[in-house]
Amino acid sequence: MNKLATLLLCVLIAGCIPTAAPKPPLEGARIGGPFVLTDQNGRQVSDRDFAGRYRIVYFGYTFCPDVCPTDVANLMHGWQLFGKTNAARADRIRSIFITVDPARDTPETLKAFTANFDPRLVGLTGSPQAIAAVAKAYGVAVQIQKPTSPGVYFVDHTNAAYLMNPDGKPLALLPSDGTPQAIADELGKWVR
């Protein structure tokens, strides 16, 4: 057999061998864990309520003047865009907004906030201790700034949107500060 024929045979055989699926970038990371919080309807919710579903998990606060609402809008638009071409896969996702400001983010406040983005968006709050524990489990740093006037303050926090698998394990970070298309593309890589 000549060299060209051998090369073509190798290319054809290599094309028939399945390639390994790409490894999720956060696979094996210690991010996430059990929690019990209160949703925007005042109901107690635990991580087990989302078992079997992919999860988009974002930490923020409703009084945030710019980054949080922009990120949440991008995430919801990306999820909705993904759903236009992948409806069944998009239905396997639950989007969760966890407050880092439980003093001001009551269930009622969260209900008004989440309603602005998508009726399926779940808003969660809890005691300061419960929020601190879940933030720590997700590697989210939180620093409440000194009030500028009574009840008016900012909260510095890690800006990350996690995509978790149906078992609650981390898969990837979503580009919440990117375009909805970039978010939809990232969902398309990992949601099956």
Are 76 and 96 in contact, with CB atoms under 8 Å apart? no
Per residue in 159-192, pLDDT (tens digit) is 999 999 999 999 999 999 999 999 999 999 999 9
DSSP SS3 for 157: strand
What is the β-pairing status of strands 93-99 and 142-144? Answer: unpaired
For residue 32 the two structure tokens come to: 């996430």
| Predicted local confidence at residue 151, as pLDDT | 87
For residues 2-16, average pLDDT:
47
Q: pLDDT band at residue 21, thresholds of 50, 70 and 90?
A: confident
| Predicted local confidence at residue 117, as pLDDT | 98
Secondary-structure breakdown of the chain: helix, strand, coil percentages, each rounded to the nearest 5: 35, 20, 40
Are 121 and 79 in contact, with CB atoms under 8 Å apart? no
DSSP SS3 for 117: coil
Q: pLDDT band at residue 3, thresholds of 50, 70 and 90?
A: low
Tokens 């490894």 belong to which residue?
23
Residues 136 and 179: their CA atoms lie apart, in Å, by: 28
For residue 11, pLDDT over 60 is answered with no
Planar angle of CA 153, 155, 168, nearest 5 degrees: 150
Q: Within the chain, what is the greatest distance between any pair of CA atoms?
A: 85
Are 53 and 92 in contact, with CB atoms under 8 Å apart? yes
What is the β-pairing status of strands 54-60 and 93-99? Answer: parallel
Closest CA to 123 of 36, 40, 33: 40
Whole-structure pTM value: 0.89
Residues 130 and 179: their CA atoms lie apart, in Å, by: 32
CA count, 13 A, side-chain hemisphere, 7 = 3
Per residue in 82-103, pLDDT (tens digit) is 999 999 999 999 999 999 999 9
| Predicted local confidence at residue 125, as pLDDT | 98
